[in-house]
Amino acid sequence: MIIRGGTFGPVATNTYIVADARGGSAWVVDPAMGSSAWAHETLSRLEATPVAVLDTHGHWDHIVENHVWAAEGLPVWVAGADADWLEAPSPFNPALFGDLPPTPGVTPARLLADGDVLELGDLRFRLLATPGHSPGCMVALEETHGEALVGDLVFAQGIGRTDFPRSDPRAMLASLERVFAEVPRETRIYPGHGPWAVTLGEAEPYARMFM
């Protein structure tokens, strides 16, 4: 299993390339503004073939370059609760992102749900619905390798904001408690912002300061 990350855009959003192996299949995860050139180069270096875009949730900074990959024929996957943001992307908080140019929308090819299992070569990712930051936030857990794409649920030293439209602070707390209960502490996490590959156990004490 290979995970490569880069940080892009006006709020330093992490984009990941996840591949089953060198020369294998890959996902583009959360394609942020300005990430496509890096993602293409990374795929080329890994000799990996992209097969899908996985959006951990539908906030603008995580989906802004979906259309780049959709134009290349890649299906885009997101939880159903956030699908409308992909159809008509716009900065959900203009005060945060400023007056940005229009972003082409895409129609998700697959609407993800709690308990779904996504296959990438020999990898198996179990999806956990973790609403709070947005209604459709998802965690994708690869239990064999101990890796988890956690979006904006939990960071290395904090948690996702709950003051955005359609955020829910109570749901966020329940989602965090669920992940801390169900995901092994030694699992390495890959969040939507900040450092990645810290363990969930290392991140949990910081998260609990905000709970």
d(C-alpha 92, C-alpha 90), whole Å = 6
Q: What is the pLDDT of residue 100?
A: 74
Overall average pLDDT of the 4-33 stretch: 97
Q: Across the chain, what does the average pLDDT equal? A: 96
Order across the sheet with 13-19: list the strands: 2-8, 13-19, 25-29, 49-54, 76-79, 110-112
Alpha-helix runs per DSSP H in the chain: 36-46, 60-63, 66-70, 83-87, 94-97, 169-182, 200-208
Residue range 112-150, pLDDT digits in tens: 999 999 999 999 999 999 999 999 999 999 999 999 999
Q: Model pTM greater than 0.85? A: yes
Question: Which domains are present in the chain?
Answer: 2-208 (3.60.15.10)
Report the range of poorest mean pLDDT among 7-11, 20-24, 71-75, 98-102.
98-102
